[in-house]
Amino acid sequence: MTQIAAVHGVLPPHRYQQAEITEAVAAMCLPPGADRGVLRRLHSSAAVSTRHLALPLDRYAEVTGFGEANDLFIETALELGERAMVAALAEAGLAPHDVDLVISTSVTGLAVPSVEARLAARLGLRTDVKRVPVFGLGCVAGAAGLARLHDYLDSRPDQVAVLLSVELCSLTLQRRDDSVPGMVAGALFGDGAAALVAVGKDHPRAREQAGPRVVATRSRLYPGTERALGWDIGDSGFAVVLGAELPDLVRLHVGEEVRSFLAEHDLKPADVTGWVCHPGGPKVLEALDETLALDARALDLSRRSLAEVGNLSSASVLHILRDTLALRPPPPGSAGLLLALGPGLCSELVLLRW
């Protein structure tokens, strides 16, 4: 089984109350003189209190277009990505030259060479390090990235792999987008990064770590749901696709997916002591609660993360895993489930054992 050796999350320094962001978004996205009532109601119902942003709030109005926004993405992604990887490796007791594979993921900016390639020399990664940059998995990529690390380490059990997620959702904000999906996205998403270090079962660090191990994974696409979540990419950059049917799709598909996956390992939802769930939004969390009949506090850390930093896309589930390890570690030997949804529509499930 793959051993999770460390998880470290980082946030940009610019932190704002939700009400401050609401008024800035209104000024950039609504026509002059437009009623701000709908946007304010959407922001106040998003269950988000504060968020961290890549730029100072007043700087966003000065960004001229997709090219400048993407340049800012690369600059900030390198800073946050370096901080996350350096800290995660230090917490794992490993050095950059120990790393055999890096999977990097983002859906909020583009970089060629990719972020981990630009960081390699700065961090001291080996020149023969294997790299897999991933774009397009969206919010599911934190869970899917961990699952693919497990696939790799399962066949190379003496090696070290790192998952790096950097998401700067604020840089995708579309000016003059007063659509409901655009306003909902402007209410939910924040900026952040995370790095996860894992080792194979035969690596010396695997015997020294007390944290969770990956037992099994499952990936699933749900046909006919392609317009539920994603981007429309145009001259101005990334315009959000966010269907109102998303909570209903969770009820229709994800509950049964989770139950059948757990059943393969002789488990039921009630047997899971650590729920590490991506906080897609308050309605998605409510749908998970209902369809899985979870304990009242099962998703507390997901709701806490949503309130304090917003939805960080692929980085969120890694921040919540870090919080689980630090604040509410399950009993040794118990089962955990890491769960995220993404464009496709798709889900990724990772069964953990503490």
For 320-343, the pLDDT digits (tens) are 999 999 999 999 999 999 999 999
Mean pLDDT across the stretch 297-313?
97
Same-domain check for residues 44 and 177: yes
- Cα gap 188→170, rounded to integer Å: 10
Same-domain check for residues 219 and 190: no
- Cα gap 149→184, rounded to integer Å: 32
pLDDT (tens digit per residue) in 160-173? 999 999 999 999 99
Evaluate if residue 205 carries a pLDDT over 90.
no
Let me know if 139 is a catalytic residue: yes
Same-domain check for residues 35 and 98: yes
Residue 136 sits at φ, ψ, to 5 deg, of 115, -15
Look at residue 270 in the predicted model and tell me its pLDDT.
Answer: 94
Catalytic entry in 139, 169, 277, 346: 139
Evaluate if residue 159 carries a pLDDT over 80.
yes
pLDDT (tens digit per residue) in 216-270? 999 999 999 999 989 989 888 898 998 889 999 999 999 999 999 999 999 999 9
- Cα gap 99→199, rounded to integer Å: 9
Same-domain check for residues 171 and 260: no
Mean pLDDT across the stretch 78-88?
98
pLDDT band at residue 135 using 50, 70 and 90 as cut-offs:
very high
Same-domain check for residues 51 and 190: yes
Tokens of 109: 């900016």
Same-domain check for residues 173 and 304: no
Domains held by the chain: number: 2
Same-domain check for residues 97 and 7: yes
Q: Write down which residue in 207, 223, 243 finishes a domain.
A: 207
Look at residue 177 in the predicted model and tell me its pLDDT.
Answer: 82
How much is the mean pLDDT over the chain? 95
Of 169, 166, 136, nearest to 69 (Cα)? 169
Mean pLDDT across the stretch 195-199?
98
pLDDT band at residue 178 using 50, 70 and 90 as cut-offs:
confident
- Cα gap 284→249, rounded to integer Å: 9
| Residue 54 structural domain | 2-207
Same-domain check for residues 301 and 184: no
Same-domain check for residues 200 and 226: no
Same-domain check for residues 264 and 178: no
On whether the CB atoms of residues 139 and 278 are closer than 8 A, the answer is yes
Same-domain check for residues 342 and 197: no
Q: Write down which residue in 152, 178, 207 finishes a domain.
A: 207
Look at residue 236 in the predicted model and tell me its pLDDT.
Answer: 87
Same-domain check for residues 43 and 181: yes
Give me the count of residues in the chain. 354
pLDDT (tens digit per residue) in 39-55? 999 999 999 999 999 99
CATH of the domain at 249: 3.40.47.10
Cis amide bond preceding 345, omega within 30? yes
Of 325, 298, 241, nearest to 3 (Cα)? 325
pTM exceeds 0.85: yes
- Looking at residue 21, what DSSP letter applies? H
Q: Write down which residue in 185, 207, 229 finishes a domain.
A: 207
